[in-house]
């Protein structure tokens, strides 16, 4: 038994110490899987069980002021990361087909690792979205798509920061931060002025933008599958591709149900009600019920 424990500990050290990037493994939550597992375990237990049970016989909390500050922070933080990612690398100094990770300790490489880590912290902060849903008793919004997306992003970006903080995969963060600037701007406006919620025409286009995001990432990560001389680890596509494909399918399904089927069903219901309210009499004149 002692030998098994020793081997397990040695394997743990190899995987999360020897293989981990020395520039990031000392950072909070990074290269320490038990911390991340505990964090996500508490998150899932709260949003799926503890939170709904706690709120069952309580009125919804009014968190508008907190959410306004939260959304404003998200817009500013995402915009900051997006702009810096463009000027630091992706506008002119990164290869779109296959960009290797710079594992050196030069100034630019260190900056990139820091921005990748800050992006990971944003994914952790994103978990508050679901917590707010629960505390506001909007349990219908705690969907499988929502919880899976938030949990999966934390796991994937944790792996990126721990082992490959830079290179080809960072485009995920570049695109995602732009999408989140748009998305949290919408949330900020609608919480600030609830009367605008039904009047903002661009709500469904945010979902279209998210679909485009995952389609782009599928293509981006799919490229390294066919580029045999790529210096970025090709095996990472086996993790990112299924995740992005799955998210693409889920978002397309959500879009179809919300913006295609539901309006058709609503229109059909309105037409049916109109026919019920107006009955044609033998003389050809309608009778209003």
pLDDT in 10s for each residue of the chain, 289 residues: 788 888 888 888 899 989 999 999 999 999 999 999 999 999 999 999 999 999 999 999 999 999 999 999 999 999 999 999 999 988 888 888 899 999 999 999 999 999 999 999 999 999 999 999 999 999 999 999 899 999 999 999 999 999 999 999 999 999 999 999 999 999 999 899 887 776 667 778 889 999 999 999 999 999 998 888 888 998 998 888 888 899 899 899 989 988 888 766 666 555 555 555 554 545 544 444 4
Other beta carbons less than 10 A from residue 227's beta carbon: 14
Does residue 44 lie within any of the structural domains? yes
Does residue 239 lie within any of the structural domains? yes
Does residue 262 lie within any of the structural domains? no
Q: What gap in Å lies between CA 117 and CA 99, rounded to an integer?
A: 18
Longest Cα–Cα distance in the chain: 95
Does residue 215 lie within any of the structural domains? yes
Give the gyration radius of the chain's Cα atoms: 24
Q: Which of 114, 110, 104 is nearest to 80 (CA)?
A: 114
Does residue 2 lie within any of the structural domains? no
Does residue 282 lie within any of the structural domains? no
26 carries an active-site annotation: no
Model's pTM, two decimal places? Answer: 0.87
Does residue 258 lie within any of the structural domains? no
Q: Which of 26, 146, 149, 180 is catalytic?
A: 149
Domain that holds residue 146: 39-248
Does residue 254 lie within any of the structural domains? no
As for how many domains the chain has, the answer is 1
């Amino acid at each position: 038994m002692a030998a098994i424990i020793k081997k397990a500990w040695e394997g743990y050290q190899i995987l999360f110490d020897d293989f981990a990037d020395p520039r990031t493994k000392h950072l909070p939550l990074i290269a320490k899987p038990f911390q991340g597992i505990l964090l996500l375990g508490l998150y899932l237990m709260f949003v799926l069980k503890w939170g709904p049970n706690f709120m069952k016989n309580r009125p919804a909390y009014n968190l508008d002021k907190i959410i306004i500050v939260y959304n404003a922070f998200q817009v500013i933080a995402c915009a900051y990361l997006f702009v810096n990612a463009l000027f630091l690398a992706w506008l002119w100094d990164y290869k779109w087909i296959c960009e290797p990770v710079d594992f050196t300790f030069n100034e630019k490489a260190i900056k990139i690792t820091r921005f990748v880590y800050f992006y990971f912290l944003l994914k952790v902060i994103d978990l508050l979205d679901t917590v707010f849903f629960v505390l506001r008793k909007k349990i219908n919004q705690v969907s499988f798509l929502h919880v899976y997306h938030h949990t999966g992003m934390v796991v994937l970006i944790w792996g990126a920061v721990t082992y490959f903080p830079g290179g080809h995969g960072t485009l995920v963060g570049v695109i995602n931060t732009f999408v989140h600037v748009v998305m949290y701007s919408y949330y900020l406006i609608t919480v600030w002025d609830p009367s605008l919620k039904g009047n903002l025409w661009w709500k469904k286009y945010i979902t279209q933008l998210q679909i485009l995001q995952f389609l782009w990432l599928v293509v981006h990560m799919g490229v390294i599958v066919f580029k045999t001389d790529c210096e970025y680890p090709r095996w990472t596509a086996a993790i990112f591709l299924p995740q992005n494909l799955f998210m693409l399918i889920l978002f397309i399904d959500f879009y179809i149900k919300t913006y295609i089927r539901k309006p058709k069903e609503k229109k059909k219901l309105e037409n049916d009600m109109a026919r019920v309210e107006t009955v044609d009499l033998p003389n050809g004149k309608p009778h209003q019920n």
